[in-house]
Amino acid sequence: MPEVFEELQWKKFPVGSDGFVCLVDVMGNDSSVVQAARVSYGKGTKKVSDDRTLIRYLLRHRHTTPFEMAEVKLLVRVPMDCWRQWIRHRTANVNEYSTRYSEAIDAAQTTPPDQWRTQAASNRQGSGDPLPVDVGERLTAAETELQQGVRKAYDERLEAGVAREQARKDLPLCTYTEAYWKIDLHNLLHFLSLRMDSHAQLEIREFATAIGHEIVKPLFPVVWEAFEDYRLGAAFFTRLEIGVVSRLMATAAADSTAPPYSEEAFLAAQDPTWIDLKRCRERDECRGKLEAMGILAPA
């Protein structure tokens, strides 16, 4: 474990056009979680299999406090639009680069021509397909001009003697910030489950994925395995959705049919409160889960 830490410490994992995540310090490892859970013994059992079983039990049943006994401190460099989302996670300790004290970091998040995304049709918060590259080329050229223009105005203000705290006011969301970010393992996993999820914005998802795969996974391999099994790769079923599955199965048993079931069968089994709704997000979410499991035929 110390070797893993030494290998990772201060290593900058690049994210996006000029961002990174970097491990500064860590307190604890998989055994710290076990030790906390078995407080009466003082030490975790020596059998790795027992430790693994316990960690998996704790994570599966949301016995969360043992995971708070480990902590991770990162140095991150993130564009302001991601940082605005990141900083909503209130359970971390943060010390951020000050643009009152120092000049703003001279780097901007840039977008290659093939990476502009359309507005998603189904999800008001999300992105859809990529835009055509010829359109992207125009947008990227305009982006470069805009970013350079804003930076020039900022530099001119500083040269004219304007205070840094005032000169910065027109800097855009593509400007990078840096921060030390320290968080316990329980709240880090919560952050990762929200920000690695497909509903999170792609840019912050890339940061969260780098933290998860490059840093948390090697530092806490057993916790990570359980996290993948019981959070990242798991699905949550509501009471209504369980009702849908039960009705689908009952009809299938009566008719001797096998999955994947049709859209008609799904609609016949849907929750009674959804029936009169033309558009129903809950019904769509249920359909998505059943499709992913092969219970329904893909739309």
Active site amino acids: 195
Using rule CB under 6 A, residue 187 touches ligand FAD:
yes
Integer angstrom CA distances of residue 77 from 14, 163, 194: 9, 24, 20
> In the Cβ-directed half-sphere of 272, how many Cα atoms lie within 13 Å?
0
Q: Judged by CB, which is closer to ligand FAD: 184, or 241?
A: 184
Using rule CB under 6 A, residue 88 touches ligand FAD:
yes
Q: Amino acid identity, residue 287?
A: R
CB of 123 to ligand FAD, least distance (A): 10
Q: End-to-end distance of the chain based on CA atoms, in angstroms?
A: 47
Q: Judged by CB, which is closer to ligand FAD: 29, or 187?
A: 187
Q: Judged by CB, which is closer to ligand FAD: 53, or 201?
A: 201
Q: How many residues bind ligand FAD (CB under 6 A)?
A: 10
Using CA atoms, how far apart are residues 85 and 82, in angstroms rounded to an integer?
A: 5
Q: What is the DSSP letter of 47?
A: -
> Which of the residues 97 through 156 are near ligand FAD (CB under 6 A)?
125
Using CA atoms, how far apart are residues 97 and 176, in angstroms rounded to an integer?
A: 10
3-state helix vs strand vs coil in the chain, percent to 5: 55, 15, 30
By CB under 6 A, name the one of 157, 190, 205, 213 that touches ligand FAD: 190
Nearest 5°: phi and psi at 37? Answer: -70, -30
CB of 143 to ligand FAD, least distance (A): 24
Using rule CB under 6 A, residue 179 touches ligand FAD:
no
CB of 183 to ligand FAD, least distance (A): 8
Going residue by residue from 218 to 257, which x/- string records binding to ligand FAD, judged by CB under 6 A?
----------------------------------------
Segment interacting with ligand FAD, rule: CB under 6 A, options 41-49, 144-152, 192-200, 211-219: 192-200
CB of 197 to ligand FAD, least distance (A): 7
From the number of C-beta atoms within 10 Å of its C-beta (0-12, 13-18, 19+), residue 180 rates as: middle
Integer angstrom CA distances of residue 68 from 91, 92, 231, 247, 280: 11, 12, 17, 41, 38
Using rule CB under 6 A, residue 90 touches ligand FAD:
yes
Using rule CB under 6 A, residue 91 touches ligand FAD:
yes
By CB under 6 A, name the one of 194, 232, 240, 280 that touches ligand FAD: 194
Which of 101, 98, 76 minimizes the C-alpha distance to 89? 76
Residues lying near ligand FAD in the complex (CB under 6 A) = 88-91, 125, 187, 190, 194, 199-200
